[in-house]
Chain A
Amino acid sequence: MDKNTIEVLAHRAGLAKALAEFPDDVAISARQAADVAQKIKRPADPAAEPWPPMKAGTTL
């Protein structure tokens, strides 16, 4: 993730103050997040459901 993208995403997330005061921490956070999802196998079945599911009437 390049510097400009990090800044745009940080501003959009409301992290302007963090970006001004702790720019290195924001950059480290962005790097931690950048490629983690690439390690996850994409389910081949388009109907593969997420977990946990919506279960009406079973809680609260």
Chain B
Amino acid sequence: MSDLHWMTVGAAARAIAAKELSPVDLTKALLDRIEQLDPKLNAFIRVDGEAAMAAALAAETEAQSGRLRGPLHGVPVGIKDIIDVAGLPTTCHSKVRQDNMATADAVCVEKLRGAGAIVLGKLSTHEFAIGGPSFDLPWPPARNPWNTDHHPGGSSSGSGSGVAAGLFPMALGTDTGGSVRNPASCCGIVGLKPTYGLVSRRGVFPLSFTLDHVGPMTRTVADNALMLEAIAGHDPRDPGSAAAAQGHYGQALDRGIRGLRVGFVRHFHEIDTPADPEVTAALEHVARSLQVEGAEVRTITLPTLGEFGAVNRVILQSEAWSIHGPWLSERPGDYGKLGRQRLMAGAFMSAGDYMLASRRRLQMIAEVEAALREVDVLLCASSMDPACRIEDPAEVERTYPRQARTPFNVTGHPALAMMAGLSVGGLPLSVQFVGRYFDEATVFQVARAWERVAGTDKKHPPII
């Protein structure tokens, strides 16, 4: 079997179940590819090859005797290094936590293993999932496989880079202000921020309690639905966990979108934060394509990106300060410069700021809910630009806030980012689909319709 590294999660799982593919061969092929490519990409903080091969051997033995743990049996996965994997340090890509050994799996990792997945190792992130691409940390920042001079997005940088480069077919990321969807956008893969509370956060190092989400990152929409199905579910020990029943997220994937109502939030990229013309053209192309597929597309207005961003920042930085304050007081030099700057900002926000943002948040939720009574799904920009050069701090600073992801951390609605095309310079452009609470299935349905039309699942970085 050739090109094992481009196999989808679904195809690999089916082949393993049919005894046509050995989990050992698949894992070995990916570990070889990691050895070959990761020195250029820095997607990993730690490769756990020995444990992965042992798990693959066990999975093979089980598969040969017809015992499958679940729908991901024998398929490798990468884990962002703010998520606990038993027996490995959860470093948060920071000197502050580099010796922090995890004694148990995070619930999302436990669920992946329960579904049969094989953990390959821990992946690069922005420091504590907030810093930015930094060169003053114990590990280098991940790079974009479409062009290694460019930023892969963050904060789930290694997850995005590694999935796009074929180092693994799926990864876990986390998203507090867009950190699953930013690398998905920059690297041309599929990244979902599920409904708030759908996936347990227990065992995930917190950034902002009321904004944090764990989400799946894959190369295809169907794989994303498959992965979500494995990690979703109520956790009575996560205070933010929702009691909603777990859905069958892939059930509507190939139903088409005839008759669905899509609300296009044009003002995000046309007025609030004017996008690069290539992004604007790509978004219009997506909207037209969905119309051709039978959807009704209408324009929708929401609060401005500037206000959504301000609410997100006040809440995020206030909550993050409550976590990092003691360490920033005692050992500020153990943080990288970007992480230190962003995390200390919460020290200068007042209780009044936090309450103002929290009160406005409820009104914003009501406004998005009202829009989603008029339409089934929202379509909007994700990133306003293709990925910038990673070693250009001014460009990183300029492009970082030019995005439309924070609104849905504020409101908690499910939001998926994926490729909308390629720029003239050969870098991915992106689009975002947003759905009603716990209606990830319809988000996937629309995303799959676009994927089928555009063939985004067949586009891989040419340099790899």
Interface residues of A (CB under 8 A from B): 1, 6, 9-10, 13-18, 21-22, 25-26, 28-30, 32-34, 36-37, 39-43, 48-52, 58-60
Check A18–B341 contact: CB distance below 8 A: no
For B304, the closest partner residue in chain A by CB is A39
- Which residues of B are found within 8 Å of A21, using beta-carbon distances? 332-333
Check A17–B362 contact: CB distance below 8 A: no
For A17, the closest partner residue in chain B by CB is B332
How far is the CB of A34 from the nearest CB of chain B, in Å?
A: 7
Check B359–A49 contact: CB distance below 8 A: yes
Check B310–A29 contact: CB distance below 8 A: no
Chain B positions 194 through 223: 1 when the CB is less than 8 Å from some CB of chain A, otherwise 0: 000000000000000010000000000000
- Which residues of A are found within 8 Å of B346, using beta-carbon distances? 33
Q: In the complex, what distance in Å separates the CA atom of A48 from the CA atom of B358?
A: 10
- Which residues of B are found within 8 Å of A1, using beta-carbon distances? 348
Taking a contact as CB atoms closer than 8 A, the residue among A15, A28, A29, A48 that contacts B359 in the complex is A48
- Which residues of A are found within 8 Å of B356, using beta-carbon distances? 37, 40, 42
Check B210–A37 contact: CB distance below 8 A: no
Tally chain B residues at the interface, Cβ within 8 Å: 46
Chain B positions 100 through 128: 1 when the CB is less than 8 Å from some CB of chain A, otherwise 0: 00000000000000000000000000000
B273 at the interface (CB under 8 A from A): no
B247 at the interface (CB under 8 A from A): no
Interface residues of B (CB under 8 A from A): 210, 236-237, 239-241, 243, 306-307, 309-311, 313-314, 317, 325-326, 328-330, 332-333, 337, 340-350, 352-353, 355-363, 365
Check B306–A29 contact: CB distance below 8 A: no
Q: In the complex, what distance in Å separates the CA atom of A50 from the CA atom of B333?
A: 35
Q: In the complex, what distance in Å separates the CA atom of A38 from the CA atom of B344?
A: 19
- Which residues of A are found within 8 Å of B350, using beta-carbon distances? 37
Taking a contact as CB atoms closer than 8 A, the residue among A26, A33, A42, A49 that contacts B349 in the complex is A33
Q: In the complex, what distance in Å separates the CA atom of A41 from the CA atom of B310?
A: 10
Q: In the complex, what distance in Å separates the CA atom of A53 from the CA atom of B327?
A: 29
Q: In the complex, what distance in Å separates the CA atom of A14 from the CA atom of B236?
A: 35
- Which residues of B are found within 8 Å of A36, using beta-carbon distances? 310, 313-314, 349, 353
Complex A-B: 21 CB contacts under 8 Å = A6-B348, A14-B326, A22-B340, A29-B342, A29-B345, A29-B347, A29-B348, A32-B313, A32-B341, A33-B346, A37-B349, A39-B306, A40-B307, A42-B356, A42-B360, A48-B359, A50-B355, A50-B362, A51-B210, A51-B361, A52-B210
